[in-house]
Structure 1
């Protein structure tokens, strides 16, 4: 029987009311924290409020560049869609402006945005990842599609690799009107999302739906085609106007210890490729996994789920499957009681790089994790195959992992999987190799020394899926400039998608008469938005700028994960274990967002102003970010509106 549990980290301990109450000033305070805040008593003060848009730390922490505050505000109902569009579709459109894979990322992204969330200063972060999961799944069920470009540019881009970076680049380039052709050596697109992450984390129906939505924009695909072998780089340079390299780090790093070249010592990449291709059907004996990151956890949980063979023929050796040789159907001889899997890691378990809830899941289904161990040699038997892994205990000294003398031991193994790093395969285009198995980009993600060639993803440096997607977004913008013959634009300091008040005003029919750059409005002129300044491209708003006392303790709605007993899990690989929010849960969780750096219409400044200087914008002119204004003939610069603004949207001192 399946039960439900939360897949997130343990709840943060509830803070006392004293800890949660935040006031800018305490009883007895008589001095300003900064002299720049001091008000000189006179008939006027330039220390009057201006409305400053800044980037929240969730977006600044997101490698793919989401406007997270934007789509959370849509889900909660604060920012309204145009007539005829549901809030779910509006949230989907806003979310996918940066990242076209909300359903996949809502399942597998480790969510650095949640670590940066200012709500952590109150009680617990907003469940951003779970809301994204909701948006993505709802969009698939509703059949939302991406619109093809309104106008074609006539330019053609070759995209080498159909993984997250390649697909994201195709999505952004098609939105710009450029023709795209994806070349991929596999039968299906998806890259690491398909061949590096097991199906019980990225359900294939979900992955296929999000990929197809991109292809339906008019993207040409040539699968089972390897650039450098089936087609040369020179041919691509003749046929296309630009080339985008998203080949990933598809080669795992070998175990560089004596005996590490034994045939049953393979890489984590090779193991997961064999499993996801359907070539790895069962495991014989004990599996020892070396690592500590997400890939090693994926290997360990997959191996555990595969069961083990009690009668083995030489042709059934698992390394044959991993190296592309299809063994006969060993599934019939496999018992679904799980392989004996041991994962060793150099660091303590609580310091492993893998996601905490994935580590807990591995332990739950029977993976043994032994920490503070480092491989020193592979023990090889008379048949030339590995029979054990020799390890040494480690300890931390001055922040460095060092071996403990005299602590060596041997761990029996029938298969050793090294998930210790990756690099690229440059066969056919060796000149792109920087000598370390990767490609070097410049700040605009153009390949150094090769105009017209661009790059993103793990082939730069293996990291998160969301990192590859964010790099592809920037690279696509650089390709657009290149194809248009324009100089590469200087990237903003905070290089993410931002809420754009002028676009919102235009969308709602409230655009100002004209706009001067920088966008700094005044109370008298109609050339921009009243006393507004956009600093989102170079400022991130921290919790010190918020009035945290406004926010009551509100526990996070914790997303549920179907918890199957181990004996059932081992038989039901590929099942979607995460349970998405209901409509009500998604809206309730999104309402916990503090809308850092953007007004969320709480009325505090209107209510607490002692001079009746702050007023709501007339309803006919009102929209998100333009809810209040200040009558400067009545304002005395008392700072009260600033002090009670929960979101930090009000900054004292016009133009400062």
Structure 2
């Protein structure tokens, strides 16, 4: 029966094109049937999902656990094992599975077939399951007697406290706000970050012990840097960027109803702002601006307002709050989002923009603000905008396209800056702190830094920086020289650690009696295995993509309200995977750079030279072996290896 045209379009990858009959490179020309002296060796590389993850998570590793390929140690469920593997790098799987824009998915090699693996959806499942089952972190090792001051209790500060405890150091967190969580709590709405789940993940860190928390304490104002240096063995600055940038246009400065996106969201997330204005205009294009407009649509406005009811009064004051009864009288708000960039170049996640449109937000892309229009009382009543063209990275208005957007409140979500009041000695002139490659503050021994205060970026970036900063702090406390960081600086699969975990560690090597020339059968070595994960990310063109079938991604369900239903809708939007969905989605992982036991090399070897290693002799069967007395160097095993794990090089 002929293959239908519809089916043919689903599998479109070929290793060779018509007319390809000559090897391109000298390296490949050595393969001439059985005259080659090259034989297979097994090379571990970093997958691009992991290489794209600023937290450096071992994504391939925990996907292998969820799918059932990598088995947990005795006495542990796979759910707990996946949790422990994922939190080696990032202690917030439930949170990050919800809000991370997932650069790992952009890098996923499966994009070359049909669609990326739903990595953050599986991560959310791991995190939510851990909360439901009450998993705790392993107890901290013996106390080192060292205590580190962490300035800031956001994602970077909390991740640093977690990593410090794993090394036996104590921590004291100084937080200027009334609660921990930073941007998790004060920058992202609760319908995206459920507060009960956030509290569970924070408390799990605090439950490790020896982490003291001092809330409502602003370093530089309530306590001096000199006092910190005297009382603590090191200081980690993780203060984030809590101040928003205003619009660089005439009329913005000093206008009461012109506010930053950071302040707008903080007032909402603290529960003080319960309504907004009738006409809201937000300038942005990133994730913060999407949160602003989505919140504005949910809050709505009230018709009759006293001065204390105005949203900017609540936002600017910091203590004034709307009466709870105010929200009951709310009506829908007209909300507009403008972006310098066209829709395809906006930095906000595409599905977030889609959700905002469904909720009734008007999105004007390719538009720049020109001037704030004010009335005689000095309040903004509109924002003049114009179509823009980008010239050398700078926007320029298109003549004749100016128009005014009516506005009762204007929100700027174009970037954030740090508040270095009392910390001027650390200001690099841009309202931020400088850092070297080890996340030390230059010329400030004992001071380290992580997160947005270096450069505003993603939450996952702050968490990854905190891990490296803690490594540097640990070396500083031990008066050790900083180790050279690997080129691919992430958490890697460690074969030797896995062998030890499975009680299959190699035998002791005796240098006096062992064979120093090489061996293919001794029990003290892992044969023909090379770990290049710290140096190389494996690209899609090293894989045999023809092995993989067309398998659509399993999308998480979402509860996104319509424009008519959005007012007062604060239910969580994302509905996480059921267990079966998480397992099936994890099975879509192509295990780039690591054997996943497909048996292609064993099946297709014409000499029966390649064989599986018995699982009671090695680890979880993550690699195969070769009888080099039979191997003729035909390289078929390398050609049919889906993951690019087999390389022809041995014997050259």
Give, in angstroms, the shift of residue 400 of structure 1. Answer: 5.0
The question of whether the paired residues in 1 share the 8 Å contact of 2:31 and 2:634 is answered with no
Per-residue CA shift, 1:596-621, capped at 9, x if unaligned? Answer: 11111111111111111111112321
Structure 1 residues without counterparts, runs of 5 or longer: 1-13
After superposition, give the CA deviation of every residue in 1:349-393 in whole Å (9 maximum; x if it has no partner): 232111111111111111111222211211121112111112222
In the aligned structure 2, how far is the partner of 1:196 from the partner of 1:122?
Answer: 36
Deviation of residue 21 (structure 1)? 4.8
Aligned partner of 1:510 in structure 2 is: 504
Equivalent position SS for 2:190: coil
2:609 maps to 1:647: no
Q: Which whole-Å CA distance do the structure 2 matches of 1:409 and 1:34 have between them?
A: 59
Which deviates more, 525-534 or 25-34? 25-34
* CA–CA separation in structure 1 for the residues paired with 2:7 and 2:434: 50
SS of 1:653 mapped into structure 2: strand
Displacement of 1:632: 0.8
Distance change (3 Å), C-alpha of 1:555 and 1:128 = same
Do the aligned partners of residues 40 and 165 (structure 1) sit closer, same or farther apart at CA in structure 2, a change above 3 Å counting? closer
Does residue 1:633 correspond to 2:635, yes or no?
A: no
- Partners of 1:251 and 1:422 within 8 A in 2: yes
Question: What's the CA shift for 1:38?
Answer: 2.8
Aligned partners of 1:327 and 1:160: how far apart in 2? Answer: 28
Cα distance, 1:447 vs structure 2: 0.7
Corresponding position of 2:311: 318
Q: Distance in 1 between matches of 2:20 and 2:190?
A: 58
Which one of the candidate residues 331, 337, 340 is aligned to 1:337?
331
Matching residue of 2:290: 297
Look up the SS of the partner of 1:220 in the other structure.
Answer: strand
Flag the 1:599–1:328 CA change in 2: closer, same or farther, 3 A: closer
- The residue aligned with 2:301 is 308
CA contact (8 A) 1:616 1:629 kept: yes
Moved more, 530-539 or 27-36: 27-36
The aligned counterpart of 1:547 is 544
Q: Deviations over 1:397-418 (max 9, x none)?
A: 5765321113222222111111
Asked if the contact 1:127/1:589 (under 8 Å) is kept, the reply is yes
Deviation string for 1:442-466 (max 9, x for gaps)?
0000011111111111101111111
TM-aligned CA deviation for residue 148 of structure 1: 2.3
Q: How does 1:33-72 map to 2 (within 5 A)?
A: 33-39=24-30, 45-72=36-63
User: Greater CA deviation, 310-319 or 169-178?
Assistant: 310-319
| Residue aligned with 2:352, SS | helix
Out of 79, 83, 88, the residue aligned to residue 88 of structure 1 is: 79
Correspondence 1:534 to 2:526:
no
TM-score when normalising by structure 1: 0.94
Greater alpha carbon shift after TM alignment, 320-329 vs 391-400:
391-400
Could you say if the C-alpha distance between residues 325 and 598 of structure 1 is closer, same or farther in structure 2, counting changes exceeding 3 Å? same
1:565 Cα deviation (Å)? 3.9
Distance 1:29 1:325 in 2: 72
For residues 54 and 168 of structure 2, what CA distance do their matches in structure 1 show?
A: 25
Aligned to 2:410, what secondary structure does the other structure show? Answer: strand
The structure-2 alpha-carbon separation of the partners of 1:384 and 1:537, relative to structure 1 and needing over 3 Å to count, comes to: same
Residue correspondence of structure 1 range 263-274 to structure 2 within 5 A: 263-274=256-267
Aligned position for 1:215: 206
Query: Match of 1:558?
Result: 555
> Does structure 1 conserve the Cα–Cα contact (< 8 Å) formed by 2:357 and 2:363?
yes
Equivalent residue of 1:376, what SS?
A: strand
* Match of residue 585 from structure 1: 581
CA gap of 1:183–1:31, structure 2 versus 1, over 3 A, is: same
Distance 1:131 1:228 in 2: 41
Whole-Å separation in 1 of the counterparts to 2:585 and 2:10: 22
Structure 1 segments (4+ residues) deviating >6 Å: 40-44
After superposition, what is the alpha-carbon deviation per residue over 1:115-170, rounded to whole angstroms, capped at 9, x for unaligned? 11111111111111110011010000000011221211111100000000000011
Q: Provide TM-score, normalisation by structure 2.
A: 0.94
- Conserved in 1, the CA contact under 8 Å of 2:277 and 2:333? yes
C-alpha separation in 1, matches of 2:486 and 2:321: 53
Equivalent pair of 1:155/1:179 in contact (CA under 8 Å): yes
8 A Cα contact 2:371 2:384, kept in partner: yes
1:521, 1:532 within 8 Å by CA — same for their partners in 2?
Answer: no
Measured at CA, do residues 467 and 374 of structure 1 come closer, stay the same or move farther in structure 2, by a change above 3 Å?
Answer: same
Cα contact 2:440–2:469 (8 A) shared by 1:
yes
Q: Deviations over 1:87-133 (max 9, x none)?
A: 11111100000011000011011111111111111111111111001
Please give the per-residue CA displacement for 1:282-311, whole angstroms capped at 9, x wherever unaligned: 113211111111111111111111110110
1:15, 1:599 → 2: CA distance?
A: 31
1:266 Cα deviation after fit: 0.8
Question: Is the Cα contact below 8 Å between 2:360 and 2:562 reproduced in 1?
Answer: no
Q: For residues 43 and 563 of structure 1, what CA distance do their matches in structure 2 show?
A: 61
What is the rounded CA distance, in whole Å, between the counterparts of 1:438 and 1:43 in structure 2?
62
Decide which of 417, 420, 435 is 2:414's aligned counterpart: 420
Contact preservation (8 Å) 1:522, 1:529: no
- Looking at structure 1, the residues matched to 328 and 608 of structure 2 have their Cα atoms a distance apart, in angstroms, of 77
Q: 8 Å contact 1:103–1:137 — kept in the other structure?
A: yes
CA distance 1:252–1:88, shift in 2 (3 Å): same
Query: Does the 8 A contact of 2:37 with 2:651 survive in 1?
Result: no
Give the alignment partner of residue 493 of structure 1, picking from 484, 487, 497: 487
Task: Name structure 2 gaps, 5 residues minimum.
Answer: none
Q: Aligned partners of 2:615, 2:112: CA distance in 1, in Å? A: 34
The one of 435, 438, 450 equivalent to 1:444 is 438
2 CA distance for matches of 1:388 and 1:42? 75
Aligned length: 641
- Aligned pair 1:239/2:231, yes or no? yes
Secondary structure of the equivalent of 2:481?
coil
Deviates most, 21-30 or 363-372: 21-30
Give the SS at the match of 2:639. helix
Give distance in 2, aligned partners of 1:136 and 1:515: 41
Partner in structure 2 of residue 8 of structure 1: none
User: Partner of 1:159 in structure 2?
Assistant: 150
Distance in 1, Cα, partners of 2:612 & 2:166? 37
Separation in structure 2 between the aligned mates of residue 614 and residue 277 of structure 1, nearest angstrom: 62
Counterparts of 1:113-152 in structure 2, within 5 Å, are 113-152=104-143
Matched, 1:284 2:277: yes
Q: Deviations 1:185-236 (Å, cap 9, x if unpaired)? A: 1111000010011111101011111111001111111111111111111111
Distance 1:15 1:447 in 2: 58
Tell me how far 1:328 sits from its aligned partner: 4.7
Aligned-residue CA RMSD in angstroms? 2.2
Of residues 584, 592, 597, the one that matches 1:601 is: 597
User: How do 1:339-358 residues align onto structure 2 when only pairs under 5 Å count?
Assistant: 339-358=333-352
Looking at structure 2, the residues matched to 618 and 221 of structure 1 have their Cα atoms a distance apart, in angstroms, of: 51
Structure 1 residues 285 and 521: CA distance shift in structure 2, 3 A: farther
Q: Are the aligned partners of 2:355 and 2:560 in contact in 1 as well (CA < 8 Å)?
A: no
